[in-house]
Amino acid sequence: MPTTELIARDLYVRTTEPSGKSHVAQHRVWDADRFLCSLQLQAREQAAKDKKKPDVVTLATEAEYRAAGRSA
């Protein structure tokens, strides 16, 4: 009987506030596209609630994460 195996991977995400301040975070995810879309939707919903511009959520690299001073 075949089984579906979930394979987790590290994803690095940059969140940039409307002021220009940004940070990079590491996440362990199974579905990178779904996770990124979820973070972007959360940012838009929170901005609408706060009546402000949304944070920009994009992919980052491991090098950018490490350069930000957060090592795994």
Is residue 62 a part of any domain in this protein?
yes
Residue 35 belongs to a domain: yes
What are the pLDDT digits (tens) for 5-15?
888 999 999 99
Structure tokens at 66: 């490490």
For residue 67, how many other CB atoms are within 10 A of its CB? 12
Model pLDDT for residues 33-56, shown as the tens digit of each residue: 999 999 999 999 999 999 999 999
* Spatial separation of the C-alpha atoms in residues 25 and 46, rounded to whole Å: 19
Q: Give a yes or no: residue 28 inside a domain.
A: yes
Which residues span the domain enclosing 37? 9-67
- Please give the full DSSP string across 22-45, using - where no structure is assigned: EEEEEEEES-HHHHHHHHHHHHHH
Does the residue 1 lie in any domain? no
Is 4 within the bounds of a domain? Answer: no
Domain-located, residue 3: no
Question: Is 72 inside a domain boundary?
Answer: no
- CA dihedral for 65, 67, 71, 72, sign (positive or negative): positive
Specify the pLDDT at position 2.
67
**0.85 exceeded by the pTM?**
no
**What does the chain come to in residues?**
72
Phi, psi of 27 (to 5 degrees): -135, 145
User: Residue 23: inside a domain, yes or no?
Assistant: yes
Q: What is the number of structural domains in the chain?
A: 1
